[in-house]
Amino acid sequence: MKKFDNLKLCLKNSKDHKTIIEVGNVKIGSGFTMIAGPCSVESEEQTYQTALPLKKAGIDILRGGVFKARTSPYDFQGLGVEGLKILKRVGEELDIPVVTEVLDTRDVEITSAHVDILQIGSRNMQNFALLKEVGLQDKPVLLKRGMSATLEEWLNCAEYILERGNPNVILCERGIRTFDTYTRNTIDMAVVPSIKILTHLPVFIDPSHGTGSPDLIEPMSLSAVGAGADGLMIEVHYKPEEALSDRDQAIDPLVYTGIINKVRKMSDFIKTELV
């Protein structure tokens, strides 16, 4: 197995070395963290109506994209700064931390002022200017794996953020491109224990982009718990059929509640009975 000796900051320096990231009352890397919310913030009503049942279901962090990296320039591009304000208001109203993706170095400062965690999306994993910029912020960074990035390339991107002085990086596997197109992407579940063996950083699975299919979200969520992930990021919309982005993979809050309950049971079982 490769050792990635060129990495200095993200590798473990002892077996128990572990980064725990505190966001409000949430301790990422200690316990199992559930992030959920719509692919995009579309309006205050849609964000609130989605977030309220999620809060009741016991999520830890609310997600919602406001700067959207869409394949087509004709698709919904997100509400931008107006979306940031909505996300912040809903987060404050429900007393829940929020995460959103930042696409452009010019938006890092304003995004940082509105959210608790900055997300770097798959398409920007190797946007080094952006990595350096978020590395200067005092907010944790959720770094998604590029869709054709090797583990070594991905960890080097985490290293860019750490090297700039930001110690709080969360890795998120969201599926990679393989020869099989049945699922939207292919979740590399073995990357979870690999990251745990090599690094001290928390690792999440995103089964929504990872599979592109509502029916596959629960089984892959439970697999992520079994693989030792620190959390999940799942896309939920209060009216999935009306979602302006990633409609086909969106689940509703009721389906999500079933999933979170099973995930919590499984992670408690592992913690108390299997360790």
Residues near ligand PEP (CB under 6 A): 39, 65, 69, 101, 121-123, 144, 174, 209
The rounded distance, in Å, linking the Cα atoms of 3 and 21 is: 25
The encoded tokens of residue 269 equal 């079982």
Picked from ligand PEP, Mn ion, none, the partner binding residue 38 (CB below 5 to 8 A depending on kind) is none
In angstroms, how far is CA 114 from the centroid of its own chain?
17
CB of 41 to Mn ion, least distance (A): 12
CA-CA-CA-CA dihedral for 157, 201, 123, 110, to nearest 10:
-90
CB of 208 to ligand PEP, least distance (A): 8
Q: Closer to ligand PEP at the Cβ: 142 or 225? A: 142
Picked from Mn ion, ligand PEP, none, the partner binding residue 69 (CB below 5 to 8 A depending on kind) is ligand PEP
246 binds Mn ion (CB under 5 A): yes
Residue 166 half-sphere exposure toward CB, CA atoms < 13 A: 23
Contact region with Mn ion (CB under 5 A), list: 47-55, 90-98, 246-254, 255-263: 246-254
DSSP reduced 3-state for 270: helix
Radius of gyration (C-alpha) of the chain in whole angstroms: 17
Nearest 5°: the CA angle 196, 228, 252 is: 130
* Count of helices and strands (H, E) across the chain: 9, 10
DSSP reduced 3-state for 162: helix
Residue with tokens 């969106």: 250
Q: Closer to ligand PEP at the Cβ: 14 or 74? A: 74
CB of 123 to ligand PEP, least distance (A): 6
Residue nearest to Mn ion (CB): 39
Specify whether the CB–CB gap between 62 and 90 falls below 8 A.
Answer: yes
Picked from Mn ion, ligand PEP, none, the partner binding residue 122 (CB below 5 to 8 A depending on kind) is ligand PEP
CB of 32 to ligand PEP, least distance (A): 19
The encoded tokens of residue 130 equal 């952006």
Contact region with Mn ion (CB under 5 A), list: 19-27, 51-59, 152-160, 242-250: 242-250
Q: At 270, which amino acid appears?
A: I
**Residues 39, 130, 151, 162: which binds Mn ion (CB under 5 A)?**
39
CB of 68 to Mn ion, least distance (A): 8
CB of 66 to ligand PEP, least distance (A): 10
Could you list the residues that contact Mn ion (CB under 5 A)? 39, 246
